[in-house]
């Protein structure tokens, strides 16, 4: 049985294992906690985790922010969706996407948006998003320094 619940400041360590799967550049649980709680949460970044029964460590997480823009109006932007490899294929990320869509409706948002990498390893994530009726609606361009 899956339990989905928000992970608040002071509890971020419970999301770190799943976050490190997608964001290994943070290198440690401590670095994840510091970056999320110090840099991201003040800008509205929220975390929700899927937990297996009797566990304090999330096996899957979704992170998102409530945003407004001239192009998209009022929307939730999903920054991260990550599941530990051993828990993939069990519906945890699916439950989290359901949760975020419900939260977007609760916040009177007009949409949910996310960007996703394009490598072949991302195909399962893309199927997840499409099952939830998210569509490929733009190209994302970047310039790294």
How many domains would you assign to the chain?
1
Give per-residue burial for 46-85: e unless 16+ CB within 10 Å, then b.
bbbbbbeeeeeebbbbbbbeeeeeeebeebbbbbbbbbbe
pLDDT at 132 > cutoff 90:
no
Task: Tell me what pLDDT residue 63 has.
Answer: 97
Does residue 91 lie within any of the structural domains? Answer: yes
pLDDT in tens, 67-110: 999 999 999 999 999 999 999 999 999 999 999 999 999 999 99
Does residue 144 lie within any of the structural domains? Answer: no
- 6: CATH: 3.40.630.30
Does residue 141 lie within any of the structural domains? Answer: no
**pTM for the complete prediction?**
0.89
The per-residue pLDDT of the chain, averaged, comes to: 92
pLDDT in tens, 40-55: 999 999 999 999 988 8
Boundaries of domain holding 124:
2-131
């Amino acid at each position: 049985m899956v339990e989905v619940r928000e992970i608040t400041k002071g509890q971020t360590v419970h999301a770190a294992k799943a976050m490190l799967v997608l964001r290994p550049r943070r290198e440690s649980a401590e670095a994840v906690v510091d970056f999320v709680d110090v840099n991201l949460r003040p800008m509205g970044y929220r975390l929700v985790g899927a937990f297996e029964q009797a566990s304090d460590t999330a096996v899957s997480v979704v992170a998102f922010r409530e945003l407004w823009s001239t192009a998209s109006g009022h929307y939730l932007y999903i920054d991260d969706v990550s599941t530990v490899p051993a828990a993939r294929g069990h519906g945890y990320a699916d439950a989290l996407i359901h949760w975020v869509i419900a939260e977007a409706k609760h916040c009177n948002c007009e949409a949910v948006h996310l960007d996703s990498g394009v490598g072949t390893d991302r195909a399962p994530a893309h199927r997840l998003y499409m099952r939830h009726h998210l569509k490929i609606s733009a190209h994302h361009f970047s310039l790294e320094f």
